[in-house]
Amino acid sequence: MKKIILFISAVFFLLFYSNAQNNRLTPEILWQFGRVSDARLSNDGKTVIYGVTRYSVSENKGNTDIWSVMANGKNVKQLTNFDGSEFNQRWSPNGNKIGFICNESGSYQIWEMNADGTDKVQISDIEGNVNSFEYSPGSEYILYTKNVKLDKKPNEIYPDLPKVNVRIIDDLMYRHWNQWSDYAYSHIFVASYLNGQLIDDADIMKGEHWDSPLSPYFDAAEITWSPNGKYIAYTCKKLTGKDYAVSTNSDIYLYNVETGETDNITEGMLGYDKYPRFSPDSKKIAWQSMETPGYESDKDRLFVMDLATGTKEYITKDFDQNVSHLVWNEDGQKIYFISGIKATYQIYNYNFELKKITQITKGVHNYNSFSKVGKTLVGERMSMSMATEIYRIDEKKGTETQITFTNQDIYNKIAMGKVEENWIKTTDGKDMLVWIIYPPDFDANKKYPALLYCQGGPQSAVSQFFSYRWNFQIMAANNYIIIAPNRRGLPTFGQEWNAQISGDYGGQNMLDYLSAVDTFKQKSFIDENRIGAVGASYGGYSVFWLAGNHQGRFKAFISHCGIFDFESMYPATDEMFFVNHDYGGAYWDKDNAEAQKSYTFSPHKYVQNWDTPIMIVTGGNDLRIPYTQSLEAFGAAQMLGVPSKLLYFPNETHFVLKPQNSILWQREFFNWFDKYLK
């Protein structure tokens, strides 16, 4: 079956290649990219295993296989080829086996194979589906996560009404980001691993009505073994209902495999505490920690705790950057991590003896993750011009060598536009980084239409990401110049720059957008009468706000899943801590001056000024910014007589992820801007 799907995909691929104009990137070609993920270095540092996801547009779905490559870039090999996806690839502690999850038997179970991909065997037979797993360092145990149903459905409360279709809700967090409560919770289990099979498994969170890893992302990296195999450290937010909705207080819990006891080692630390990592001797533990309760974009700090004394040390106190993806070196004298700097993400390390932070990688790119064994360091790297590939990094020389070329056949056939770094002055005299992306075959003697890209988050950098939705190269391939400012409220430029936006949604960051437009529209190659603005989430809000306050700068807008009315948004969203922090509180709190100022920035208060064509996009399963926000905006535009269009995807979420929906989205995107800007 998989071979048939791949054949159909290949035919589809060739058809659209033949139709691609001037070797430009198209939505159809973008969906032919292989998406590299979860690279893992072997225990001897010689081999990398990783996932590659490919999509069939005709089948409207994706499939992930496991591949391997030598750390020197040789011997690229596909290891799995089941009909379904294989993921969560892990080296066994002795390096002879690779464990992974697949649904070949009808449910997601743990399988093993030899390092060369031969002899695939199912090793678990667990009721339900396994979500993730990790080997213990000594191979005595395997921990895995699965969903455990603990809450009763309405037809279980009323068994005489088996066909009832209702939700009975009496507390918050009944829905989160992309899905409604399914009456189950993600729990961690520990099973003995004997003779290639799992036996005697135990739920270490038995009866607890909360998730580990945390909803809504369920990132398995939030759980880890200690190197001596005696402890499991895991992230959990042991709150429910309204308490959960208004708080970011997750903690690190230490479970003793021998005694079954669990301790909270970050009690009293009231922000997010996540991603625990033990030192090689199991005597210390590091993690990422945010200080401010309710602030999801606070500085991600590096903390290290001595487990014997309980002493905690704030390592990055004098480092005005975030940390992520913590990795100890073999002797425990360094911690490696990823940190953002000036809209790129690089690998750093901290030397405990020297108390010094050193930047290892440099360049116009992002590192998403990395693995380190001995002197071998490999990482997943991307840029605006290249999807994720795996690189080997020479720490001493500072060189970075590409070892996978998953999409080279595509790059050989299409042209990418130039990405240029520019620094401009803002209205308050600050320096702001603005990326300019030019069309392929750019001609400075011509005049081009331009698009202002408004970033979401609101605190997520316009870094060197390669997006399969908001792809700058596709926009440039359609002969638009992209203006992408790192406006106020974006990380990688220090905490002051990042934090400024909270409580000031319609303030300085909007002036930053306008500064970018006003600076670059003066360029001879940009037609100031053909400029549009586009954005999603907070970027969608930005478009709604600009639509009422742009003083004629823009000729067309596209807003995706944006906030239109702060008052209706406040009680309808899921994570109340977000609106409490960024708005300053509830709209009904008339004595709260900070909140009352924030609500003056609601776009619906300026809708009477709308006079520019606008397309609005939303998903019926967007629970973060409920789709009704987009319906309100579209209804207002229609009533005002503003040329407008609504794209409503009933089964999509905050993101349009299905291949055919995404292609339609892209086609409508350019149909709209081409109509009003060309």
161 band by pLDDT with thresholds 50, 70 and 90: very high
The 10s digit of each residue's pLDDT in 328-352 is 999 999 999 999 999 999 999 999 9
Residue 559 CA, chain-centre distance (Å), reads 20
Please state the pTM of the whole predicted model: 0.95
Is residue 256 predicted with pLDDT exceeding 60?
yes
Is residue 567 predicted with pLDDT exceeding 50?
yes
Q: Is residue 25 part of a domain?
A: no
Q: Is residue 251 part of a domain?
A: no
Q: What is the pLDDT of residue 344?
A: 98
Q: Which is catalytic among the residues 250, 371, 537, 630?
A: 537
622 is catalytic: yes
654 is catalytic: yes
Q: Do the Cβ atoms of 13 and 32 come closer than 8 Å?
A: yes
Task: Give the CA dihedral 590, 596, 602, 608, nearest 10 degrees.
Answer: 80
Listed in sequence order, the residues at least 6 apart from 67 whose beta carbon sits closer than 8 Å to its beta carbon are 49, 50, 51, 52, 76, 77, 78, 79
Q: What is the pLDDT of residue 119?
A: 97
Q: Which is catalytic among the residues 297, 582, 654, 662?
A: 654
Q: Is residue 660 part of a domain?
A: yes
Characterize the bridge pairing of strands 184-194 and 179-180.
unpaired
The 10s digit of each residue's pLDDT in 40-89 is 999 999 999 999 999 999 999 999 999 999 999 999 999 999 999 999 99
663 band by pLDDT with thresholds 50, 70 and 90: very high
Average pLDDT of the chain to the nearest whole number: 95
Q: Do the Cβ atoms of 643 and 41 come closer than 8 Å?
A: no
Percentage above 70 pLDDT, the chain: 97
Is residue 11 predicted with pLDDT exceeding 50?
no
The 10s digit of each residue's pLDDT in 179-237 is 999 999 999 999 999 988 899 999 999 999 999 999 999 999 999 999 999 999 999 99
578 band by pLDDT with thresholds 50, 70 and 90: very high
More confident residue, 196 or 658: 658
Q: What is the pLDDT of residue 22?
A: 72
Q: Domain residues for 458?
A: 415-574+607-677
Q: Is residue 235 part of a domain?
A: no
Q: Do the Cβ atoms of 84 and 5 come closer than 8 Å?
A: no
116 band by pLDDT with thresholds 50, 70 and 90: very high
Q: What is the pLDDT of residue 21?
A: 54
Q: Is residue 87 part of a domain?
A: no
Residue 375 region, left (φ>0) first, then alpha (ψ -120 to 50), else beta? alpha
Q: Is residue 419 part of a domain?
A: yes
Q: What is the CATH number of the domain that holds 521?
A: 3.40.50.1820
Q: What is the pLDDT of residue 195?
A: 85
> What strands, in cross-sheet order, belong to the sheet with 273-278?
273-278, 284-289, 301-306, 312-314
Number of domains in the chain: 1
The 10s digit of each residue's pLDDT in 598-634 is 999 999 999 999 999 999 999 999 999 999 999 999 9
Q: Where are the beta strands (DSSP E) in 554-658?
A: 556-560, 614-619, 644-649
Q: Do the Cβ atoms of 484 and 512 come closer than 8 Å?
A: no
Q: Which is catalytic among the residues 369, 622, 644, 662?
A: 622
Percentage above 90 pLDDT, the chain: 96
How large is the average pLDDT for residues 535-539? 98
How large is the average pLDDT for residues 9-22? 49
Backbone angles phi, psi at 369, to 5 degrees: -165, 170
How large is the average pLDDT for residues 545-560? 98
Backbone angles phi, psi at 124, to 5 degrees: -125, 150
Residues 414 and 65: their CA atoms lie apart, in Å, by 25
597 band by pLDDT with thresholds 50, 70 and 90: very high
The 10s digit of each residue's pLDDT in 404-433 is 999 999 999 999 999 999 999 999 999 999
Q: Do the Cβ atoms of 157 and 168 come closer than 8 Å?
A: yes
Q: Is residue 597 part of a domain?
A: no
Q: Is residue 442 part of a domain?
A: yes
7 band by pLDDT with thresholds 50, 70 and 90: very low
130 band by pLDDT with thresholds 50, 70 and 90: very high
